[in-house]
């Protein structure tokens, strides 16, 4: 098996990797690092969980080791763009961790935080700037930042940035960069707008694509409980009170929903906190810190707020409502069963949500609820007769699921090792039409 040593990485980086306990490059690292060290542009099709951050951060840091000249004021040598504040923080953490034996300056620029300290940090010139696109544009517009000395730009989770409406901002940023530069783009999927972005702004990119060796859907014990919407809060509180639930994330579809559920759980004496786009940056950071150190054991989150949250030891994921977008289900359950631990995902499903469940089953290729209405039953024509379909959110829905739970399904993949270590969201098998998040979803 290849080691990081075999890749020829510089000694200070090898020492840092050793400190992190990483002996072998993941497939995306193995395939991207040599091309990036040669200075090639790169399109990486990979999800969080594949080790993609280190894949681009390590070659960047290696170049910083050789950098002689100081970065001019208000300039950034490397720019990394990511969709959410949490992801920006996590990327910067990894930059710091892998670069612990490298001398360099990095900072983050994110919306929802005070602009002044960011402007002060930009003033001295930076080796690495990690940012969300919106606030970065503000600083570009005000002259607090220039990009004419930037030599490397990374667009991370490009498809997420597209979903969040950042594409015009990204194009504006790309136009402010020098023509001579290295451009790196990572995305879990390749919608045509992202392909067009690569065509417009990249030069002969190397394309590297990895799918996680095992799908988290195979590693997580999943079950679906049919529960009428009116009974969900009480049911959730009783499930969360069980002793085996040591650290849980509850997903709701809307921000208001997250607050309501959180209040109910607190009222039931549980240590819960909500995290979503209406919370200030400070509140979000405090909540995440409390969840990490165990003062809070239940995080109630919306999909976008929870994307990329990298916390080990989440024993359970609860879907208070099923997501409208089936891929989100895979992202959600990927929050548990990380770092080789086992995990459990429980979905509370109102009969109205049966159509959403069918879409999820189709995406992951598993039947989660055996009530004669799964996608496979429909395909094979064995579906039990159902009442006339209701239309909601332009999806076929059915009524009248049997109000009974189902024994959890556990499908252990035989691909052990790294896959178990890095178990995270699965790449959708085929490109599906993406629906924009609802306005209240962030
Ligand atoms: P990412 O896909 O960048 O979100 O990385 C997922 C997780 O894998 C992070 O927690 C990394 O710290 C970890 N990781 C990255 N590279 C390796 C490696 N070579 N071996 C083991 N874990 C790694």
Could you report the per-residue pLDDT of 80-133, keeping only the tens digit for each? 999 998 899 999 999 999 999 999 999 999 998 999 999 999 999 999 999 999
- In what side-by-side order are the strands of the sheet with 106-109? 106-109, 126-131, 76-81, 152-155, 182-187, 42-45, 206-209
- C-alpha of residue 388 to centroid of ligand 1, in Å: 48
Question: From atom 23 of ligand 1, which residue's Cα is the shortest distance away?
Answer: 51
- C-alpha of residue 423 to centroid of ligand 1, in Å: 10
Separation in Å, CA 254 to CA 285, 322, 325, 427: 20, 11, 13, 24
- C-alpha of residue 431 to centroid of ligand 1, in Å: 25
Residues contacting 62, CB < 8 A, separation 6+: 9, 10, 13, 37
- C-alpha of residue 179 to centroid of ligand 1, in Å: 31
Higher pLDDT, 396 or 51: 51
Could you report the per-residue pLDDT of 134-150, keeping only the tens digit for each? 999 999 999 999 999 99
Separation in Å, CA 31 to CA 52, 119, 147, 182, 423: 10, 37, 29, 17, 19
- C-alpha of residue 233 to centroid of ligand 1, in Å: 35
Distance CA 131, CA 88 (A): 6
Higher pLDDT, 429 or 110: 110
State mean pLDDT over 52-69: 94
Distance CA 161, CA 143 (A): 24
**CB–CB of 327/432 below 8 Å?**
yes
Residue 429 pLDDT grade (very low, low, confident, very high; cuts 50, 70, 90): very low
- C-alpha of residue 50 to centroid of ligand 1, in Å: 6
Residue among 422, 426, 427 to mutate when testing ligand 1 (max atoms within 8 A of CB):
422
Question: From atom 22 of ligand 1, which residue's Cα is the shortest distance away?
Answer: 22
Question: From atom 15 of ligand 1, which residue's Cα is the shortest distance away?
Answer: 51
Distance CA 84, CA 110 (A): 8
Q: Which two three-digit tokens encode residue 406?
A: 């189902």
- C-alpha of residue 96 to centroid of ligand 1, in Å: 14
Most confident of 15-24, 194-203, 332-341: 194-203
> DSSP E strands: which ranges in 58-125?
76-81, 106-109
- C-alpha of residue 327 to centroid of ligand 1, in Å: 21
- C-alpha of residue 65 to centroid of ligand 1, in Å: 22
User: CA 50 from chain center: how many Å?
Assistant: 11
Residue with tokens 């919608």: 191
| Best CA proximity match to 330, nearest among 350, 306, 297 | 306
Could you report the per-residue pLDDT of 352-409, keeping only the tens digit for each? 999 999 988 887 878 899 887 777 676 666 665 444 333 333 333 333 333 333 433 3
Residue 49 pLDDT grade (very low, low, confident, very high; cuts 50, 70, 90): confident
Residue 304 pLDDT grade (very low, low, confident, very high; cuts 50, 70, 90): confident
The ligand 1 atom at the shortest distance from the C-alpha of residue 20 is: 12
The reported pLDDT for the residue numbered 22 is: 86
The ligand 1 atom at the shortest distance from the C-alpha of residue 48 is: 2
Residue among 26, 292, 337 to mutate when testing ligand 1 (max atoms within 8 A of CB):
26
Q: Which of 50-64, 229-243, 259-273, 412-426 has the lowest average pLDDT?
A: 412-426
Residue among 16, 51, 61, 424 to mutate when testing ligand 1 (max atoms within 8 A of CB):
51
Q: For residue 435, is pLDDT > 70?
A: no
Could you report the per-residue pLDDT of 24-48, keeping only the tens digit for each? 898 899 999 999 999 999 999 988 7
- C-alpha of residue 4 to centroid of ligand 1, in Å: 13
Question: From atom 14 of ligand 1, which residue's Cα is the shortest distance away?
Answer: 51
In percent, the amount of the chain with pLDDT more than 70 equals: 81
Task: Provide residues with CB under 6 Å of ligand 1.
Answer: 22, 24-26, 29, 48-54, 310, 421-422
Question: From atom 20 of ligand 1, which residue's Cα is the shortest distance away?
Answer: 22
Q: What is the pTM of this model?
A: 0.59
Higher pLDDT, 413 or 157: 157
Residue among 20, 46, 54 to mutate when testing ligand 1 (max atoms within 8 A of CB):
54
- C-alpha of residue 323 to centroid of ligand 1, in Å: 27
Residues contacting 425, CB < 8 A, separation 6+: 47, 48, 49, 188, 212, 216, 330, 331, 334
Distance CA 249, CA 308 (A): 13
Question: From atom 8 of ligand 1, which residue's Cα is the shortest distance away?
Answer: 51
Distance CA 275, CA 389 (A): 35
Mean pLDDT, rounded, of the chain: 83
Strands 248-251 and 390-392: unpaired
The reported pLDDT for the residue numbered 13 is: 97
Residue 90 region by backbone torsions, left for phi larger than 0, else alpha for psi between -120 and 50, else beta: alpha
Distance CA 409, CA 183 (A): 43
Could you report the per-residue pLDDT of 204-216, keeping only the tens digit for each? 999 999 865 445 5
State mean pLDDT over 240-269: 94
Residue 313 pLDDT grade (very low, low, confident, very high; cuts 50, 70, 90): confident
Residues contacting 21, CB < 8 A, separation 6+: none
């Amino acid at each position: 098996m290849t080691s990081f040593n075999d890749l020829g990485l510089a000694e200070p980086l090898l020492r840092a990797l050793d400190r992190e306990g990483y002996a072998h490059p993941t497939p995306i690292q193995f395939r991207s690092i040599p091309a990036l060290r040669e200075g090639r542009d790169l399109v990486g099709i990979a999800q969080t969980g594949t080790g993609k951050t280190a894949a681009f951060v390590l070659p960047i840091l290696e170049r910083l080791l050789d950098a002689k000249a100081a970065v001019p004021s208000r300039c950034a040598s490397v720019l990394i763009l990511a969709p959410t504040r949490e992801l920006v923080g996590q990327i910067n953490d990894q930059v710091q961790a892998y670069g612990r034996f490298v001398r360099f300056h990095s900072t983050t620029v994110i919306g929802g935080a005070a602009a002044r300290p960011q402007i002060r940090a930009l003033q001295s010139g930076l080796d690495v700037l990690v940012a969300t696109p919106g606030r970065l544009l503000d600083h570009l517009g005000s002259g607090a930042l220039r990009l004419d000395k930037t030599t490397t730009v990374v667009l991370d989770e490009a498809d997420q940035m597209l979903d969040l409406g950042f594409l015009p901002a990204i194009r504006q940023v790309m136009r402010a960069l020098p023509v001579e530069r290295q451009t790196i783009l990572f995305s879990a999927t390749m919608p045509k707008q992202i392909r067009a972005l690569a065509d417009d702004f990249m030069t002969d990119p190397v394309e590297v694509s990895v799918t996680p060796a095992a799908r988290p859907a195979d590693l997580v014990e999943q079950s679906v409980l049919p529960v009428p919407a009116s009974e969900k809060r009480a049911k959730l509180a009783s499930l969360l009170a069980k002793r085996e639930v040591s650290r849980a994330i509850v997903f709701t579809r809307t921000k208001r929903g997250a607050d309501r559920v959180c209040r109910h759980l607190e009222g039931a004496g549980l240590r819960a906190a909500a995290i979503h786009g209406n919370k200030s940056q400070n509140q979000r950071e405090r909540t995440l810190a409390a969840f990490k150190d165990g003062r809070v054991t239940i995080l109630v989150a919306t999909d976008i707020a929870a994307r990329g949250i990298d916390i080990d030891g989440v024993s359970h994921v609860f879907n208070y409502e099923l997501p409208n977008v089936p891929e989100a289900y895979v992202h959600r359950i990927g929050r548990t069963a990380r770092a080789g631990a086992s995990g459990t995902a429980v979905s509370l499903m109102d009969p109205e949500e049966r159509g959403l469940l069918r879409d999820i089953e189709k995406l992951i290729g598993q039947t989660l609820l055996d009530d004669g209405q799964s996608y496979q039953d429909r395909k094979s024509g064995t579906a039990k007769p159902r009442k006339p379909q209701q239309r909601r959110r332009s999806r076929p829905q059915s009524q009248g699921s049997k109000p009974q739970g189902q024994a959890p399904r556990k499908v252990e993949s035989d691909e052990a090792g790294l896959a178990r270590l890095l178990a995270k969201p699965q790449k959708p098998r085929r490109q599906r039409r993406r629906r924009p998040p609802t306005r209240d979803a962030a």
